[in-house]
Homo-oligomer: A and B are copies of this chain.
Amino acid sequence: MKKNNSGYVSELRQDLVSGDWMIIATGRAKRPNSFIGGRQKFEQKISECPFENPQITGHSEPLLIYGKRNRWSLQVIKNKFPVVGYGRCSTTHKEGPYTIMEGVGFHEIVITRDHKKHLALMSVEKIAEVLKAYQERYIALMDHECVNYVFIFHNHGREAGASIPHPHSQIIALTILPTDVKRSLNGAKKYYEEHHKCVHCEILKCERDEKSRCVFHNKHFAVFSPFVPRVNFELRIYPRKHQSNFEEITEAERMSLAEALKQALYRLYKGLKDPAYNFFIHTAPCDGKDYKYYHWHIEILPKTNTWAGIELGTGVEIISVKPEDVAKFLRKFNPKNK
């Protein structure tokens, strides 16, 4: 049985937001580079790609387009296979003890022009354009009477659930608050009520002082490997000043965020040799309530493990590389030195 420096087979760390305990099984520690590789081939010919010429392949007119119609650099379209319907707001009804309602909302796709160039390899300016599209569509959707939450996410690679290789993000506007969003909000609220402070500001302060988990920071944003990660190699991007709502970022902040996102994704790309990953934005709901205690952020979850019985039954991934080692490893891969 291998033990780590402190003589532990594993360490239990309590998440500051949820109060949940996570297992950092450093006793079966792997070196960071043992997480490299294992990607399945995931390619599609341009002639077969539904996102090369979306309107020719039966998609909706663009909801948003950057550039000219025949020389666009980015467009947002309706998802042909939405998880919620574009219908009228609905109310709940009962079925026995259960409560049901129709799934109503919006499901959109953000497509960048290049068939292969994914976010880690884009220029900071191009990434800023993607963030601008997120923000514009967020603002367009948030005021819709049925919409209480706008969820923005990106899947890269088949193992991360992408079904089409052409780089794209998704935006889903929902009437309900998703489970994990609700948990994240509740945790932040509880901490705020008990300590009269934002839990994420506390985390940022600790990470700035501690430094061992920091990967990058610029004027407005910090990238770090969280003390209690949900998955191996998780990275988080936080605005350094307290801010509840993603959609309120200024143009300068957007450029700063684009740089931070590039830094995070490029380092994972180089360090783990193009891993599959998901990232998503956790931000305050747009349901008209007060969420001043919340601090929006981006979570980036590389796909290095298969979730098994232990993860599915306990809700936590066994972490086998310490976040401190993740940060140290990723600090070596600076996009500026490429």
**A interface residues (Cβ-Cβ under 8 A, vs B):** 1, 3, 6, 8-14, 16, 18, 20-21, 23-25, 27-28, 80-87, 92, 95-103, 151, 153-155, 158-162, 170, 172, 175-183, 202-203, 206, 209-210, 227-228, 278-280, 282, 299, 301, 305-316, 318
Given contacts A11-B103, A309-B280, A313-B299, contact A82 B20 (CB under 8 A): no
Determine the distance from Cα of A95 to Cα of B24 in the docked complex, in whole angstroms.
Answer: 15
Contact of A176 among B21, B176, B282 (CB under 8 A): B21
Q: Which residues on the B side are within 8 Å of A24 (C-beta)?
A: 103
- On whether A84 and B310 interact (CB within 8 A), knowing A21-B179, A96-B210, A206-B97, the answer reads no
A101 touches B313 (CB 8 A): no
Distance of A202 Cα from B97 Cα, bound (Å): 8
Contact A96 B206 (CB under 8 A): yes
A183 contacts which chain B residues (CB < 8 A)?
315
Query: Across the interface, do A103 and B9 meet the contact criterion of CB distance under 8 Å?
Result: yes
- 23 A-B residue contacts at CB 8 Å? A1-B85, A9-B86, A9-B87, A10-B82, A11-B100, A11-B101, A12-B103, A13-B99, A25-B84, A27-B82, A27-B85, A27-B103, A28-B83, A98-B206, A151-B310, A155-B308, A155-B309, A162-B308, A179-B314, A180-B314, A278-B309, A280-B309, A280-B312
Identical subunits present: 2
Within 8 Å CB of A161, what residues of B?
A: 305-311
Contact between B178 and A13, CB atoms less than 8 A apart: no
Give the Cβ gap from A136 to chain B, nearest Cβ, in Å. Answer: 20
Instruction: List chain B residues, Cβ under 8 A from A100.
Output: 11-14
Residue of B nearest to A26 (CB): B103
Which residues of chain B come closer than 8 Å to A209, judged between CB atoms? 96
A9 to B160, CA, bound (A): 24
CB of B170 within 8 A of CB of A83, answer no
Q: Which of B1, B177, B203, B314 contacts A178 (CB 8 A)?
A: B314
B-chain residues with CB within 8 Å of residue A312 when the two chains form the complex: 278, 280, 301
Which of B87, B301, B306 meets A160, CB within 8 Å? B306
Q: Told that A28-B81, A153-B310 touch, could you supply 7 new A-B pairs with CB distance under 8 A? A: A8-B85, A13-B100, A14-B92, A161-B309, A178-B314, A301-B312, A307-B307
| Contacts A180-B313, A309-B280, A313-B178 given; does A16 touch B98 at CB 8 Å | yes
Closest A-B pairs by Cβ, 4 of them: A161-B308, A9-B85, A10-B103, A280-B313
Give A208 Cβ to nearest chain B Cβ, in Å: 11
Interface centre among A28, A279, A310 (most CB of B within 10 A): A310
